[in-house]
Structure 1
Amino acid sequence: MNRRKAPLLLALALLLAGSALLVSKARPTEGPSPETNPARAPAKSGPGEALAARSQGTPATEAGAQEDTDGLERPGVDLVSYLRSRYGARIRDPHTQMRMLEQLMRHFQKLNPTGWEADLLAVLQQAFPELYDELAQRLRQRLDYEKWVKEHHAELQQKPAAERRAALWEERTRLFGKEAAERIWAAELRNLAVADALTAIDALPGASVSDRMARYKQSLEKAYGENSQAYVRAHQQELMNRFLDLGSVQKDLGTMAPEQRARNLRTIREEMGLDAQALQRWEELDRMRDARWELGSQYMSEREALAQQYSGPELEARLTELRARYFSDEAQTVAEEERSGFFRFTRPRQWGRN
């Protein structure tokens, strides 16, 4: 082992010893890390692609109203009192109506799969008799929209994102009316506004990372108004990832010297409201990632050299030795990945993300 590699291996070993705790503290809302399971690394998509992919859902799904039914299923709960307490203050709002109807649908469909609609309407009559006709109509609109989406699913999937969005909004407006539709799908409209802003930010010529971040924060403030700070606090990880996923941001970070890149990553995280402790954890994670990628680059260079000299069983024996020297306990995992055709250190480096 050469002198340059020895301290790097030692440093990486020390970093990896605490990596599980570090990652769990640094990324409390993230799923499995591509670093711990790189074969499952998610495919990269554009800023608005995920939003477009889920824009065919039912109104409550798009409004972010996937409530659980625990409140309805508690032993001895009075359903009418529960509905009045939970939804009564805002029951005239179309979005609130849809949240309630979605929760009731899940509850009654579980209890009575064939006669659930009559049971649901009976409860609405008791809980909100003065709004019964409006709520019954809203339920019918909800069911008609779901039926339409199912019937046109294949057709919608074949349309470009913009045409699919236009078709969906045309049907929503026809069924619910423009004002009610915009209230029910308010969350989608805000998300799409931010996604469109990200697309524009990504295309800005000559903008610095700081300039793009300033525009991003402006788009969040415009979309979420007086609730923007609370929204950012509640979605720090998601919002930060969406910004870091921009090709322009990654390109700029990739051309920076390490110290400048570290400063820019810190600024991005500060702008997303991370506190001092979180910033320190992220910086430690960045150092761990840098060391790992450096080690991976050295490994791939040696691997390529071996592949040019050997083949067959002799090559596999030498690769087994090489992986054990570089990755220790992870050597078998790396071998299985490579047999499947996945090489973790040939995938693109996403600064601040892997």
Structure 2
Amino acid sequence: MLGLLVGWRLLSMGQTSSTPPAPDSTGAQRHAVLAAATGAPASRPSAPGAINAPVPAPAEPDAELELLRLSLLERFGARLHEPSVQLRMLEQLMRYFQARAPDRWREELQAFLRKAFPGQYEALATLLRDRMDYEKWVKANDAYLRGLDSKQRRSAVWDARNRLFGRETAARLWASELKHHAVVDALRVLDERDDLPLPEKLSAYKARLGEIHGDGARDDLARHPQETMNRFLDLPSVQRELTGMPPVERARSLRAVREAMGLDDEALRRWSTLDQLRDARWEAGRRYMEEREALARTLTGDLLEARLREVRARYFGTEADIIAQEEASGLFRFTRPRQWGRN
């Protein structure tokens, strides 16, 4: 459904639906969820007909729920005031109680929350209700949302989130999505600034990343340097400027981008070596295509293919067969645009 429930999947350990599972799978599912919560290994069921197969004694219901409560407190308790953490815990509990009591899972889940987390019951019960209402809204409006463009769809989805969860809670639940869209919007604005040369665009990009991520900007950049760098290099305006540079200036500019993304000296050396290999490959490709076109003007059929095999082997060595297969399928890799720093 347009990925509108992706946020739930990212916040949870797995996909959860308000639809209960099939009855014949509930025992295994409940055991797996409980094992995940407690950190215990999930045992494999004995094969049918196994002789003297050990039969695990089921835990008493109250003891099992107490074990679940303690494991949740250990795992989530320190941050249970955060809506995103609350939601991850609720998603796990939904799977557990859907497996435990398919017909009464919501009632049993709420009873468990009331007993296990009395001080936070109201907040947890409200979030559970809002989460289920949001899922219903997405499903009910699927066809409508598909008919909107991306900007209209984003607006409609956020209107629903703010209405169902409240603006502050929705912003905290989908904080990563908000940051992602802020980065995308910033890059779009930079790409439209033809008056800014590459160094100034790079400086503005880093400054905006700092505004978006705040105190966590350095850590976020350290975790995702490649993705952050590629987003900038993929801007058409950046590629146009790199294309118009002499090779030495282009190499300096690529190094400056990578330095700005926090790459260390060793990584910078590896990238420089890779750039040189790519440059050599593209130069070989350019010369090959020129020679190929010249041969195609004078030869045809088997004679042309025989000469092309020789030329491909001369330029590409062990990759010659791959190039031939690509061309047979209609793909000519060296007619595609060069993406500096990317291919």
Q: What is the TM-score when the length of structure 1 is the normalising length? A: 0.77
Aligned counterpart, 2:52: none
| Matching residue of 2:79 | 90
Whether the aligned pair in 2 keeps the contact of 1:58 and 1:146 (CA below 8 Å) is no
- Asked if 1:60 corresponds to 2:26, the answer is no
Q: Note the C-alpha offset of 1:66.
A: 4.5
- Aligned partners of 2:100, 2:289: CA distance in 1, in Å? 58
Report the counterpart of residue 47 of structure 1 in structure 2. Answer: none
Q: Structure 1: how far apart are the matches of 2:239 and 2:12?
A: 34
Supply the distance in 1 between the matched residues of 2:338 and 2:332 (Cα, whole angstroms). Answer: 13
- 1:178-197 equivalences in 2 (<5 Å): 178-197=167-186
1:159 paired to 2:142: no
2:21 aligned with 1:75, yes or no?
no
Q: Take 1:249 and 1:120, find their aligned partners in 2: how far apart are those partners?
A: 53
Q: Is the 8 A contact 1:87 1:96 kept in 2?
A: yes
After superposing the two structures, state which structure 1 stretch, 178-187 or 88-97, moved more.
Answer: 88-97
Which amino acid letter does the alignment assign opposite residue 315 of structure 2?
Answer: Y
Tell me if structure 2 keeps the 8 A contact 1:84–1:127. no
d(CA) in 2 for partners of 1:112, 1:307: 72
Q: Which residue of 2 aligns with 1:294?
A: 283
Partner Cα separation in structure 1 for residue 92 and residue 232 of structure 2? 33
Q: Distance in 2 between matches of 1:107 and 1:296?
A: 57
Is 1:59–1:98's contact at 8 Å kept on the other side of the alignment? no
Deviation at 1:155, TM superposition (A): 2.6
1:73 offset after TM fit, Å? 6.0
**Compared with structure 1, are the counterparts of its residues 112 and 248 closer, same or farther at alpha carbon in structure 2 (3 Å cutoff)?**
farther
The CA deviation at 1:55 is: 5.9
Preserved CA contact (<8 Å) 2:76 2:85: yes
Unmatched 5+ residue regions in structure 1? 1-52
Q: CA deviation at 1:94?
A: 1.7
Cα 1:54–1:257 shift into 2, 3 Å: farther
What SS does the corresponding residue of 1:351 show, helix, strand or coil?
A: coil
Contact 1:58 1:145 survives alignment (8 Å):
no
SS at match of 2:11: coil
Closer/same/farther in 2, CA of residues 309 and 173 from structure 1, 3 Å limit: same
Kept in 2: contact 1:59–1:142 (CA 8 A): no
Q: Which amino acid aligns with 2:37?
A: L
Residue 256 of structure 1: aligned partner? 245
Q: Which residue of 2 aligns with 1:240?
A: 229
Q: Deviations over 1:231-267 (max 9, x none)?
A: 1111101100000001111111111111101111111
Give 1:294 deviation, angstroms: 0.4
Deviations 1:94-150 (A, max 9, x none): 222122223444555577777654554454344312222331221222122122223
Q: Say if 1:109 and 1:116, in contact at 8 Å, map to a contact too.
A: yes
Aligned-partner Cα distance in 2 for 1:222–1:54: 29
Residue 334 and residue 196 in structure 1: after superposition, are their counterparts in 2 closer, same or farther (change >3 A)? same
- Offset of residue 270 of structure 1: 0.5
Give 2:56's aligned residue.
none
Aligned to 1:149: 138
Corresponding residue for residue 25 of structure 1:
none
Aligned residues: CA RMSD:
2.4
Contact 2:2–2:146 (Cα < 8 Å) also in 1: no
SS of match in other structure, 2:172: helix
Kept after mapping to 2: 8 A contact 1:72/1:107? no
Change (3 A) 1:320 1:111: farther
Measured in 1, the distance between the counterparts of 2:260 and 2:3 equals: 29
Change (3 A) 1:74 1:90: closer
TM-score computed with the length of structure 2 as normaliser: 0.80
Deviations 1:273-293 (A, max 9, x none): 000000000000000100000
Paired letter, 1:301 = E
2:38–2:68 Cα contact (<8 Å) kept? no
Q: In structure 2, what is the Cα distance between the partners aligned to 1:289 and 1:350?
A: 10
Q: 1:268 aligns with which of 257, 279, 287?
A: 257
Q: Distance in 2 between matches of 1:133 and 1:289?
A: 59
Q: Does the 8 A contact of 2:242 with 2:340 survive in 1? A: yes
2:220 corresponds to 1:231: yes
Question: Larger RCO: Structure 1 or Structure 2 (Cα < 8 Å, ≥ 6 residues apart)?
Answer: 1
How many pairs align?
300
Q: Which runs of 5+ in 2 are unaligned?
A: 15-32, 42-63
Please name the residue that 2:55 is paired with: none
Find the counterpart in structure 1 of residue 158 from structure 2: 169
